[in-house]
Amino acid sequence: MAKPQTHADQARLVDEVYALTLEIDTAVKLSDWQRAARLARERSPMVHAIAPVQSASALELIRSIQTLDAARLATLRAARVQLSAEYQQAKASVGAARQYQKMARLF
């Protein structure tokens, strides 16, 4: 049976989650998606282990984590839109090249 965590354990856990959140944020800013995903997978069970009752300082860090997460989500959405646009452009370019080659064979 797991023993209940103390406030010190919870404070350390929140600190670790915050540190991982900063690392994820850095990875996202560098477009290192694989690293960001790995760190997020590492962080996820830790987030779920945070108890609902926290000290004032831990709650402040949790709010900072939530703010960083929301900003990162906006960044990820913008990156997805950009990647989708680039993909569509590349697809159109390939189609144009095929059409050019097709027409070149006729002459």
Q: Which of 13, 10, 19 is nearest to 68 (CA)?
A: 19
* Confidence category of residue 34, pLDDT binned at 50, 70, 90: very high
What does the block give as tokens for 61? 């860090």
Q: Which residue has the higher pLDDT, 80 or 5?
A: 80
- Residue 107 to residues 39, 70, 88, 94, 102: CA-CA distances in angstroms? 56, 56, 29, 21, 10
The pTM of this model reads 0.74
pLDDT (0 to 100) of residue 76: 87
pLDDT tens digits, 43-95: 999 999 999 989 999 999 999 999 999 999 998 899 889 989 998 988 888 87
In this predicted structure, the answer to whether residue 1 has a pLDDT above a threshold of 50 is: no
